[in-house]
Amino acid sequence: MRAAREGEKFTTLDEVERVLDSDITCIVDGNAAGGAGATVALAGVMGGLDSEITDATVNILLESATFSNGHTSRTSRKLQLFSESSARYERGVDGATCDEFSARAAALMIEVAGGELCEGVVDVYPAPVEISELPVRLQRMRDFLGAEISAEESRRILERLGCEVKNAQAVGECNGFAVSPGDLLVTPPTFRPDLTREIDLYEEILRIWGMNRVQSTLPGGRQRIGEKTEAQHRMSVIDRTLRACGLNQTMTYVFASPDDNAVMRMPYTDAQQPVELINPMNNEQSHLRRSILPGLLGSVAYNLNHGVENVHLYEAGTVFFAAEGRQLPKERTMLCGVLTGSWTEAGWNNPEVAIDFFDGKGVIETLLRELNVAKMRFKPLDAEVAPWLQPGRAAEISAGSKQIGWLGEIHPQVSAGFDITVPVVAFELDVKALITAAEQVRPYKDVPQYPAVTFDLALVVPEEVASEKVMQIIGSAAGSMLDEVRLFDVYRDEKKLGAGKKSLAFGLSYRAADRTLTVEEVEKLHQKVVGKVTAATGGEIRA
């Protein structure tokens, strides 16, 4: 045996010439001590072509040896040479039985091939395998396993596994542990190098005895009361609300295709780069997802292709972002949903109505209301900001001044990338921002004791003025006297209203908590509201 010389060349049995280095161990023929021996095999990996057995081979020298599993593994990977031999030595073999297997191989050659055994055996075994005696403290084992396994049964199991077992006769010590009479002293066989600790013997006994025989019990403990965190409570509300709205919870792969971003047309910053897998299962799943939406659109396409036209799905899951210089990806929990088709099947008294943007808006409003999110806002999104959504049918969702997500109808070009030909409404919310915006205490409003006074307000405004802005101005002008404001009509007619104009009709309800309002003070307040709204929007009262 010797280390290979740097740059030494050797042709293995697979007829490939390989270049060796000093980290590779060679089996040589000749004066190995003098360094003159010619290499005949790579230790633990493969033999050489020059010493290959052929039909003309008459004399055979048998070598039975063990090699370092780490050294064998390095040689195999360095040369990209994987064999049955390297696979076995990398896992480790029993060094105490080399002579037994050598004798068995020789006996088979004599029996099968009619060979003749030459006398003499050379055995070089400078460091025999030493097996330490291990204790099995029976009461400790029963406490660990939660099963009453007798000493006799434990002994039988270990002996069947090839262990030498004897009883401890007196109080003493075994391998640094105190043992008592009745405990077991165990010497594992050399072919079980994995049995190095007392707990390993427990595992073997339980494996043979049967894990299914262990009775299930609750863990003990005092003053340990488990409860959900606030975030978990909020997630329960989210799940309950979305299911009540008619959505079904689903789960898609966190792996994504590198082509998803091109299909989705979603813009990302430098801090939101994709996370590429080192060893992906296939090219279609070689990245971690940056949005849940592509997976849900794939689910929509699958359902549509199988004849399911009404698809209402949502998923709460993790998305991943990488950035240059960052060792680990940034993770965010997102809530995403998709709606297509209609809510109900068509009936004789119930026509089928296709889901649109406002159905998705209703789902979001219901969710935010149940989470007690105050000051929710829907702001129109420009096509440049959200190119994956239909222009004019997309909105940014905010709670106060913080953006928490988006809502809109998927752009037809994006839907076509998933082979979807029907409109799809989708939303995606940041769960952390959503939970942070949720108020823990819902404000209480007493049942009104005094009647309300209602007025209608029809206002002609420029097309770009959003109804939400008008409602905010109304609320600011009316103050605490405004009990409710509701948009009930939107009207457009170029001939009657003019080009670029629309009419918004609101129902306003005024009420005082401590008295009945008089007509005079309500009219005065209403005129104030009208003045503020027309001045701020450039609109006029519709006749």
> Model confidence over 44-71: pLDDT tens digits?
999 998 888 888 888 888 889 888 888 8
429 with 347, same domain?
yes
Residue 329 lies in a domain: yes
Residue 191 lies in a domain: yes
Whole-angstrom distance, CA of residue 247 vs CA of residue 426: 12
pLDDT at residue 172 in the model: 86
359 with 462, same domain?
no
pLDDT tens digits, 519-534: 888 899 999 999 999 9
Q: Which residues fall within 8 angstroms of residue 477, CB to CB, at 6 or more apart?
A: 528, 529, 531, 532, 533
292 with 416, same domain?
yes
> How many structural domains comprise the chain?
4
372 with 283, same domain?
yes
295 with 414, same domain?
yes
209 with 242, same domain?
no
424 with 299, same domain?
yes
Residue 225 lies in a domain: no
Whole-angstrom distance, CA of residue 448 vs CA of residue 480: 14
Residue 446 lies in a domain: no
Residue 125 lies in a domain: no
189 with 248, same domain?
no
What's the mean pLDDT when you consider all of the chain?
A: 89
Evaluate whether 405 touches 319 at the Cβ level (below 8 Å).
no
143 with 290, same domain?
no
pLDDT tens digits, 337-392: 999 999 988 888 888 889 999 999 999 999 999 999 988 888 888 888 999 999 98
392: containing domain? 231-437
pLDDT at residue 34 in the model: 47
pLDDT tens digits, 105-119: 999 999 998 889 998
Q: Which two tokens stand for residue 421?
A: 């030909």
Report which DSSP code applies to 420.
Answer: -
Residue 349 lies in a domain: yes
State the CATH number of the domain containing residue 27: 3.50.40.10
429 with 458, same domain?
no
The domain boundary residue, chosen from 437, 468, 484: 437
State the CATH number of the domain containing residue 178: 3.30.56.10
pLDDT tens digits, 466-493: 888 899 899 899 888 899 999 999 999 8
Residue 372 lies in a domain: yes
Whole-angstrom distance, CA of residue 534 vs CA of residue 543: 14
254 with 384, same domain?
yes
What φ, ψ does residue 456 adopt, rounded to 5°? -105, 140
350 with 418, same domain?
yes
State the CATH number of the domain containing residue 319: 3.30.930.10
pLDDT at residue 31 in the model: 60
